[in-house]
Amino acid sequence: MQTDTERFPRVLAAFEEGVTRGLHTGLQIYVSVDGVPLLDAGFGDAAPARPMTPQTLMPWRSAGKPLTALLLLTLLDQPQQQLQLPLSHWLPESVGTDKSSLTLADLLTHQSGFPLTDTGWPHSSWDDSVRTVLQTPCQLPRGTAAYHPQSSWFLLGEIIRRVVAQGQQTLPAFAAILQQKLLDPLGMLQSGCGISSPDSPEIVNRLPVLYERQHGELNVSPASAAPWIVTPSAGGNLRGPISELGRFYEMLLRSGRTAQGLVFAAEPVIQLMTRRHRVAMHDQTFQQVIDFGLGVICNSARYGAALVPYGFGSRCSDSAFGHGGAQCSIGFCDPERRLVVAWAANGFCGEGQHQRRNQLINNAVFDDLGL
């Protein structure tokens, strides 16, 4: 009987090509069809003399944004209507700033106008980051399509805190809310927003060494250690075994139901999140036309599969959706094919090199599955 890795020789070849080209030393990957895992593996090394395994705690970076988006949508009583409420409704301190009239829909579809605001993460506190985002003037007019790597996601995370607190003076931490209300119910028990105890014996040997490619060589990245691995960021610092990100997409594939058949999110909420809200707009950050749902990228191969950054490969159906993480990861779901793919590498190799790697690995999955 073939092992799961033997069924995916092209994926392994794509990984090995990346090692040869100095893009990474290790890769963690998860593939399932109709909720049945076909590949859950680690290739190469997570650190010198330590192999990558399915249990390694990988950074997802922005590939974790859909979790924050869905958490928010599940907390709203009337999401369709409340998505259009101004930011001043949720964050009274935004009154008097140029962000007070923005809506949750603007934030979730990356049309808020402040993509380049430096939040201070990971050196600033959560409260300071929120304050900085609110007080820094917008760089672009509202409605401009421009991907926000971090800035708007601190506001979304803060709104989640306010909604959960229901007027209480003490606000629960975003990471704790995410754990209690999304990760734990979905059985994603090894994932989190930041790592609270990176020096504990059960954690330290599961942390990968992360590399940055500079002048053709891999150098250890400061993102391998504190404060990067411990400081929460609602849009950029989720991490854990990549199989758990895959299971999140399997829940979306089941229209909001867990593997045990329990309803985590109502089907209309999943449909609202994953349909196209921002369509055929040129993204000023990525310099490409990219469609967005609410916190997810909708398959934009219709605008040129080879050009779309953080795309899902050339053979995904038009209904596919997901999200990539900066120069390292991706998770996506193809509802027509009942396919879920999630992977993370330990090398930040530059945007151009990563986009080529992304296409190679995603297309290799389709090749190995015969799709």
pLDDT in tens, 11-22: 999 999 999 999
- Pure H helices in 168-282: 174-178, 201-204, 242-253, 267-274
Cα distance between residue 328 and residue 338, in whole Å:
24
* Residue 262, token pair as written in the block: 């329990």
Q: What percent of the chain has pLDDT over 90?
A: 92
Q: What is the mean pLDDT of residues 49-57?
A: 97
Q: What are phi and psi of 39, to 5 degrees?
A: -150, 125
Nearest alpha-carbon partner for 323 in 256, 255, 245: 245
Q: What is the pLDDT of residues 228-251, one digit of tens each?
A: 999 999 999 999 999 999 999 999
Residue located via tokens 């929120």? 130
Query: 84 in helix, strand or coil?
Result: coil
Beta strands in 48-86 (DSSP E): 50-51, 58-61
Alpha carbon distance 146, 150 (integer Å)? 12
Topology classification of domain 69-180: Methane Monooxygenase Hydroxylase; Chain G, domain 1 (1.20.58)
Give tens-digit pLDDT for 101-160: 999 999 999 999 999 999 999 999 999 999 999 999 999 999 999 999 999 999 999 999
Every domain of the chain with CATH number 1.20.58 lies at 69-180
CATH 3.40.710.10, the chain: domain bounds: 9-61+209-369
CA–CA separation, 135 and 133 (whole Å): 6
Q: Which CATH superfamily is domain 9-61+209-369 in?
A: DD-peptidase/beta-lactamase superfamily (3.40.710.10)
User: Burial, 176: exposed, middle or buried (Cβ in 10 Å; 0-12, 13-18, 19+)?
Assistant: middle
**Per-residue confidence (pLDDT) for residue 2, from 0 to 100:** 55
CB neighbours of 33 closer than 8 A, spacing ≥ 6? 337, 338, 339, 340, 369
pLDDT interval class at 1 (50, 70, 90) = very low
Helix (H, G, I), strand (E, B) or coil at 77: coil
Interatomic CA distance for residues 186 and 197, integer angstroms? 22
pTM given for the model: 0.96
CB atoms within 10 A of CB 318: 13
